[in-house]
Amino acid sequence: MTHTRNTPASPASDRPTTLPADGFTGRALRARTEPMLVRPLRDDRYVVETERGTYVVDLDGRSCTCPDHAIRGARCKHLRRVAIEVTEGRVPPPGHRRAVCAVCGDVTFVPTYERGPQLCDRHGFAPGDFVRDRETEGILVVTRVTGERADEYETAEGRPVADYETNADYGGHEPVVEAVYLESVRALGGLDTVGDAKRYGFPASRLRRVDDGPRLTAGSPDSADGQAEA
Ligand SMILES: [Zn+2]
Ligand SMILES: [Zn+2]
């Protein structure tokens, strides 16, 4: 699997917190044990609230507005703390924002530019993933995860995906995943032909990843009946 999104480690706190000392010393120790609250800003920087003041950290630019950094040029405890919290999944990395998975409701980090409903690592898909359709048991290959909701995404017939009776048990708020039936890819001559096969749109939770992919016995050739054609 090729899922690269970061999974948050713990729920966000709205009060300054400390981290275990873990045998660190000096600034590295203070970065962990002094109470701080890290909050991401919209421009990829972070606000760090401490008992002594509030500072702004630019992780990519390796700068902080505190005197320790401004005067001594040190890699201050605030910079270190932000780096630790990003590594531990407590705040989103630069270029990412918090989102809620449309299937399970867990918090996940997604690229800031991503719009529409989002999925966590557990419920997300990447192009090329092999999936099983819960309704027909057919095996498909994912071609795209759209940012469109199942009750908004229209098929070639001009109907929203969520309108199809076979999709009644899945959330209209879920993102639509486009996929092609493995049978049709095989009929066309192999995985290189994925782009030529007929695409279908599914509410995300209707598809389940199968990790041993093409070695599985594919669904019956007529498994496309009743699907929402993309
Ligand atoms: Zn600082
Ligand atoms: Zn999820």
In this structure, the answer to whether residues 195 and 147 fall within a common structural domain is yes
How far does residue 98's CA lie from ligand 1's centre (Å)?
Answer: 24
In this structure, the answer to whether residues 63 and 23 fall within a common structural domain is yes
CB contact at 8 A, 134 and 208: yes
Average pLDDT over residues 121-127: 95
User: Is 221 inside any structural domain?
Assistant: no
In this structure, the answer to whether residues 86 and 149 fall within a common structural domain is no
**What range defines the domain where residue 185 resides?**
130-215
- Residue 184 pLDDT more than 70? yes
Rounded Cα distance between 152 and 203, Å, is: 11
In this structure, the answer to whether residues 18 and 49 fall within a common structural domain is yes
User: Is 186 inside any structural domain?
Assistant: yes
Per-residue pLDDT reduced to its tens digit, 22-53: 889 999 999 999 999 999 998 999 999 999 99
In this structure, the answer to whether residues 87 and 134 fall within a common structural domain is no
In this structure, the answer to whether residues 73 and 142 fall within a common structural domain is no
DSSP 97-157: EEEEBTTT--EEEEETT--S-B--TTT---TT-EEEETTT--EEEEEEEEEEETTT-B-TT
How far does residue 69's CA lie from ligand 1's centre (Å)?
Answer: 5
In this structure, the answer to whether residues 31 and 72 fall within a common structural domain is yes
How far does residue 50's CA lie from ligand 1's centre (Å)?
Answer: 10
Given the structure tokens 């729920």, which residue do they identify? 11
Give residue 230's pLDDT.
65
In this structure, the answer to whether residues 94 and 157 fall within a common structural domain is no
Give residue 93's pLDDT.
96
User: Is 226 inside any structural domain?
Assistant: no
Rounded Cα distance between 150 and 119, Å, is: 13
How far does residue 2's CA lie from ligand 1's centre (Å)?
Answer: 35
Domains contained in the chain, number: 2
User: Is 222 inside any structural domain?
Assistant: no
The bound ligand whose nearest atom lies closest to the alpha carbon of 62 is 1
In this structure, the answer to whether residues 115 and 2 fall within a common structural domain is yes
Token pair in block for residue 175 = 């993102």
The bound ligand whose nearest atom lies closest to the alpha carbon of 34 is 1
- Residue 76 pLDDT more than 90? yes
User: Is 227 inside any structural domain?
Assistant: no
How far does residue 106's CA lie from ligand 2's centre (Å)?
Answer: 6
Per-residue pLDDT reduced to its tens digit, 79-115: 999 999 999 999 999 999 999 999 999 999 999 999 9
CB contact at 8 A, 219 and 133: yes
The bound ligand whose nearest atom lies closest to the alpha carbon of 75 is 1
User: Is 225 inside any structural domain?
Assistant: no
In this structure, the answer to whether residues 19 and 45 fall within a common structural domain is yes
Share of the chain above pLDDT 90, in %: 72
Among residues 88, 120, 152, the one where a domain terminates is 120
